[in-house]
Amino acid sequence: MFESLSERLGHAVRQVTGRGRITDDNVRDTVRQIRMALLEADVALPVVRTLVERVRERASGREVARSLNPGQVFVRIVHDEIVTILGGDAQPIAAKGRPSVLMLVGLQGAGKTTTAGKLVPMLARGSNGEILLVSTDVYRPAAREQLGRLAGQLGAGFFEPERSDPAAIAAEARAEAVRRGCRWLILDTAGRLHIDEALMAEAGSIHSAVEPAETLFVLDAMAGQDAVNSARAFNDALPLTGVILTKADGDARGGAALSVREVTGLPIKLLGTGEKLDALEPFVPERFASRILGMGDVIGLVEQVESRVDRESVERVARKVKRGRELNLVDFRAQLEQLSNLGGLDSVLDKLPGIKPGALAATGFDDRVVRRQMALIDSMTPRERRYPAIIDGSRKRRIAAGAGLAVQDVSRLLKQHRRLAKAMKQAARGGMERMLAQAQRGRGGHWQR
């Protein structure tokens, strides 16, 4: 919904290029557009000011004047400045002592407990030895049960305290971790406001009770202007060692991460990127800079495709097509599933630069269509999936009812599948050109709901 920096700069830069020269006046306009784009990305105002000042200095130099495309140079300069602020390479979680204690702190609802769980598989991949989880949240109802359940699901240890004082719980858990020879102790704390003096003091006493290897500030990627104030206050009260940015799978630009990094100097170590317990990724400054600017995350998309597409199933279909065998609905569904595995069409398109949100809706083929088609295929008997030709009116009605959709939806799916199967067959017979022509003709009408 917000214009990306590239779009915003589009307007300002057209003026620049139109005149063929960069004057102080149009630098000012461009710089103003940069300022707004950063503010809409929730970058804190003081940080925006510093950044814009640096960009202004660099832009009014020869660098831009010499360039053929001043717009891209501007974007490049901003991008570079952001990468510089975000820091060099991804920094891993550091171990120190046995157990290495990781303490998670942050505001309410930032995602501390979920992150505590997500750390388990990540740490388990990198080292042997038991991982113990403990929650010192004695306030939120069922907070400790939540972490206990996660520990159970993940096969990690969970410390059940006998005491009710958070610092005492932490100390007991540490003693237990030592006794059991645990490699890691992950310590979850209650969400607290940075201005709550009593709770901030409590966090301090928990910290001194366990002396963590890492004290990590858990930050919501959607956080607003105030994120810098809370991060600064937490950093003043506790010797923080890094930041974990959560809910980064959404469409927030995540400017708060930039602000917190600039103001506290803390490295951003990890990104929470989904509902699943393995959705925790290393933070890559380059990639994140593109996101703040709304430039798309092509690198991320490539990695996603590599990690989530089931190569074997893709190849199975390819072999079938090569042998000239007809593609049935089982194969069709497998293809649809690959698309869903990538997080759906929306998620793929979101990562591509230059595609506006809503572009997908305009084509009439969205994730809902994909899921509906999968639901229809799921409502069929195995025989129907293998031999779609047997699907008559009565079968159509049953399938439609099973998927909670209309009979026309079944017909549309079958038609689409027939068209695809035919195209594949032709391709196998070497009719590649004909297939392409057919695909061209069919475009537009194909995917309408």
Partner 1 sequence: MLSGSTSEGDSGFFGRLRSRLNRGRAWLAGDLAGLFAGGIDAETLEALETELLLADVGVEATQALVDALQRSTKNGEDAVEALRGKVLELLDPLARPLDIPNGAKPFVILAVGVNGTGKTTTVGKLAHRFVAEGRSVVIAAADTFRAAAVEQLAEWGRRAGATVVSQADRADPAAVVHDALATARARGADVVIADTAGRLHSDAGLMDELAKIHRVVSRFDTQAPHETLLVLDASQGQNALVQAERFNDRLGVTGLAITKLDGTARGGIVIAIARRLALPIRFVAIGEAIEDFAVFSAGEFTDALIGDRAA
Per-residue tokens: 233: 């206050």
Which residues lie below 8 Å from residue 101, measured CB to CB, with a gap of 6+?
174, 177, 184, 185, 187, 210, 211, 212, 213, 214
Rounded CA separation 192/198 (Å): 10
Cβ 108 to partner 1 shortest distance, Å: 7
Q: Which stretch binds partner 1 (CB under 8 A): 39-47, 65-73, 301-309, 435-443?
A: 39-47
Nearer to partner 1, 206 or 252 (CB): 252
Instruction: Judge if the upstream peptide bond of residue 353 is cis by omega within 30 degrees of 0.
Output: no
CA distance 73 to 131: 48
Q: Out of 121, 129, 148, 442, name the contact with partner 1 by CB under 8 A.
A: 148
C-alpha pair distances (Å), 25 with each of 33, 62, 75, 294: 13, 16, 18, 25
Taking the CA atoms of the chain, what radius of gyration do you get in angstroms? 27
Tokens 């750390």 found at: 119
Residue from 81, 172, 188, 220 binding partner 1 (CB under 8 A): 220
CB of 193 or CB of 437, closer to partner 1: 193
- Token pair in block for residue 421: 């199967």
Binding window for partner 1 (CB under 8 A); candidates: 12-20, 78-86, 221-229, 411-419: 221-229
Per-residue tokens: 420: 């695809």
Nearer to partner 1, 125 or 276 (CB): 276
Binding segment toward partner 1, per CB under 8 A, in 94-102, 227-235, 327-335, 429-437: 227-235
Please choose, out of 20-28, 94-102, 216-224, 425-433, the segment that lies near partner 1 by the rule CB under 8 A: 216-224
Residues 124-143 contacting partner 1, CB under 8 A:
139-143
222 binds partner 1 (CB under 8 A): yes
Residue 251 interacts with partner 1 (CB under 8 A)?
A: yes
Number of residues that bind partner 1 (CB under 8 A): 57
Neighbours of 88 (CB within 10 A): 9
> Both tokens of residue 437?
């022509």
- On whether the CB atoms of residues 129 and 154 are closer than 8 A, the answer is no
| Contact call for residue 249 and partner 1 (CB under 8 A) | yes
How far is residue 152's CA from residue 158's CA, in Å, rounded to a whole number?
A: 8
Report the alpha-carbon distance of residue 321 to residue 334 in Å, rounded: 14
**Can you read off the two tokens belonging to residue 143?**
């907070």
Residue with tokens 């971790």: 177
Strand order of the β-sheet with 268-272 is 157-158, 131-135, 184-188, 100-105, 214-220, 242-246, 268-272, 280-282
- 301 near partner 1, rule: CB under 8 A: no
Query: Any residues with CB less than 8 A from the CB of 330 and at least 6 apart, and which?
Result: 377, 385, 386
Identified binder of partner 1 from the candidate list 40, 286, 303, 326, rule CB under 8 A: 40
Site string for partner 1, 100-119 (x = CB under 8 A): -------xxxxx--x--x--
Q: Give the shortest CB-231-to-partner 1 separation in angstroms.
A: 12
Q: Which residue has the tokens 């501007």?
A: 74
Q: How far is the CB of 209 from partner 1 (least distance, A)?
A: 24
At its nearest, how many Å lie between partner 1 and the CB of residue 145? 4
Q: Does 371 bind partner 1 (CB under 8 A)?
A: yes
- Distance set, CA 105 to CA 164, 195, 217, 255, 393 (Å): 18, 14, 5, 20, 60
The least distance separating partner 1 from the CB of residue 223, rounded to whole angstroms, comes to 6
Q: Does 344 engage in binding with partner 1 (CB under 8 A)?
A: yes
The four Cα atoms 139, 259, 266, 244 give a dihedral, to 10 degrees, of 50
Task: Rule CB under 8 A: say whether 388 interacts with partner 1.
Answer: no
Contact between 229 and partner 1 by CB under 8 A: the answer reads yes
Among 26, 115, 146, 215, binds partner 1 (CB under 8 A): 146
Q: What is the DSSP letter of 249?
A: T
Subset of 156-215 contacting partner 1 (CB under 8 A): 193-195
Q: Decide: is 260 part of the binding site for partner 1 (CB under 8 A).
A: no
Candidate list 161, 255, 285, 300; residue touching partner 1; CB under 8 A: 255
225 binds partner 1 (CB under 8 A): yes
352 binds partner 1 (CB under 8 A): no
Q: Does position 341 bind partner 1 by CB under 8 A?
A: no
- Kindly list the residues in this chain that would bind partner 1 in the complex (CB under 8 A): 1-2, 36, 39-42, 45, 107-111, 114, 117, 139-143, 145-150, 153, 193-195, 220, 222-227, 229-230, 247, 249-253, 255-256, 275, 340, 344, 346-347, 350, 366-368, 371
